Amino acid sequence: MALTIFLEGMAEKVLDIEEKVECPPAKKAKLDESSSENNDSIHEKEVNLSTFEMKRILQNNTYRKQICIEGIFKGHECPAVVVLEKKNFPMEELFLKRGFFNESTILRKLYTNDVYGNYECFPTREYNGLNTIVIHPATPKHIDKFIKKELHIINETYELYEKVVSPYIKSMDTFSLKWIDNILEGKAEQENIIYQDKDKDVGFVLLTDLKWDKTLSTLKLIALPYQNITCIRELNETHLPLLKNIQKAGTEAITEKFGIPASQLRLYLHYQPSYYYLHVHFSYLMFDTPGIFVEKAHLLSSVISNIELIPDYYKKAVLSFVVFKGDLLFKKFQEIGILEKDNEQTETTEAES
């Protein structure tokens, strides 16, 4: 599954990049003349990774077991990005036998202690493959997309929400929420709806998430209320009937349709979300879907309980979340001194004043 997500992300990354390649001037002129006929592309011949001269590691993701490297292929002037990712294990006994529990498998002992033995295993060649993506010629935008961005945590009080995040949300283009209007108005994705309750106060639409690959083991749905609520910060006791309805009716609908019991579902909200129209995520508990980390996910059961205990809980609580260095929200927190300005910016500001 990690692979599916990786490839999806990769496709998004590759697809939304439409920039000219940053090559040396002579090569650039050649490319500009005929961008479709790219003479420098290494994909036309067999790619030999031993000719890849590494320039820098853009990202080494130990969670995904993935490395992204920028470099140059010998004899080619334009930069390239190579992404290597370890594969998932097969589920079928036959393939596990062929690849790992095989006479050709090598097991090297590292050390033992009591009942524990630590070994290094070398599976058979066919099962030792890596998913590999080579982007060439790579644009600066491609390269930038693969650079791991620095993360910073914000411990947001309600005052900070009002001062920074709320104006930031209001300044956003509402066009980004058009897909939600379309679903609620019956103009799109009606075939993806699992459950619908049209009550304007407690009603919602439960439908498949865009990212779900339709495999039960990675089940991923979202509930969109008819009530327009910006985000978790706006929730109070008046929303309890809605939240409880989503929790109960949404879960029951999933159990009925997919046979997954309530005890195996994870119901949560994001803060900060990508879309500022309150929605609840439903995912299969045994699927470690991205976005379930403590700095982003809020269990629906906890949200309900918090409001039951303190009706204006979300106007009082400190909510923590991460921002990516360079993103707009990051800059907004920099502007008011919550996040440090980097040296370059400090120098410019000082020189200007």
Q: Which residues does the annotation mark as catalytic?
A: 279
Q: How far is the CB of 49 from ligand G7M (least distance, A)?
A: 33
Decide: 250 and 280 in contact? Cβ < 8 Å: yes
How many positions of this chain bind ligand G7M (CB under 6 A)?
13
What residues between 262 and 301 interact with ligand G7M by CB under 6 A? 270, 273-275
Integer angstrom CA distances of residue 270 from 202, 259, 295: 20, 26, 9
Closer to ligand G7M by Cβ: residue 207 or 307: 207
- Using CB under 6 A, pick the residue from 22, 144, 209, 213 that binds ligand G7M: 209
Q: How far is the CB of 238 from ligand G7M (least distance, A)?
A: 22
Q: What's at 243, amino acid-wise?
A: L
- Using CB under 6 A, pick the residue from 181, 189, 213, 288 that binds ligand G7M: 189
- CA-wise closest residue to 268 among 252, 283, 254: 283
- DSSP states along 80-100: EEEEEEEPPPPSSHHHHHHHT
* Residue 70 DSSP code: E
Q: How far is the CB of 272 from ligand G7M (least distance, A)?
A: 8
Residue with tokens 């599916």: 4
210 binds ligand G7M (CB under 6 A): yes
- Which region, judged by CB under 6 A, interacts with ligand G7M, from 58-66, 124-132, 209-217, 315-323? 209-217
Closer to ligand G7M by Cβ: residue 82 or 300: 300
- DSSP states along 164-221: IIHHHHHTS-GGGGHHHHHHHTTSS-GGGEEEEE--TTT-EEEEE-TT--S-GGG-EE
Closer to ligand G7M by Cβ: residue 294 or 309: 294
Sites of contact with ligand G7M (CB under 6 A): 179, 189, 192, 207-211, 222, 270, 273-275
